[in-house]
Amino acid sequence: ILNLVESGGGSAQSGGSQRLSCTVSGSRVSRYNMAWFRQSPGKEREAVAGIHSEGSIKYADFVKGRFTASLDNAANTLYLEMTSLKSEDTATYYCAAVLTLDTDFRNWADDYEYTYWGQGTQVTVAS
């Protein structure tokens, strides 16, 4: 069983930056595809970025050029570096994982593809 714990959320100013971390325990992340999702009140959960265990990274169009996802296999930690933050980035951010063998990376943005989820970390961007 994989355990995911997000951290790094909090308040930020519009145009500012913030870095989220997702620490993984229970297994090595090198066997998993990982992803960041977010959910705002009243909205459906949406994919932000996905990372294949072999290194490919996909981004949602609304974060391209602003957010950078990365995976530190040695630290067993997933990161999301967020820059040029906007008020509409306010949401609870979740990391998720699924065994690479159990998924198709073409479906990286579908939340039902993921087996393991963190508890989420709140990001609030003041305009």
Judge whether 5 and 119 are in contact, CB under 8 Å. Answer: yes
pLDDT given for residue 127 in this prediction? 83
Quickly list DSSP for 92-121. EEEEEEEEGGG--GGGTT-GGG-SEE---E
Q: What is the pLDDT of residues 59-85, one digit of tens each?
A: 999 999 999 999 999 999 999 999 999
Strand partners, 5: 23
Give pLDDT < 50 ranges for the chain: none
- Residue 11 CB contacts under 8 Å (≥ 6 apart), including other chains: 124, 125, 126
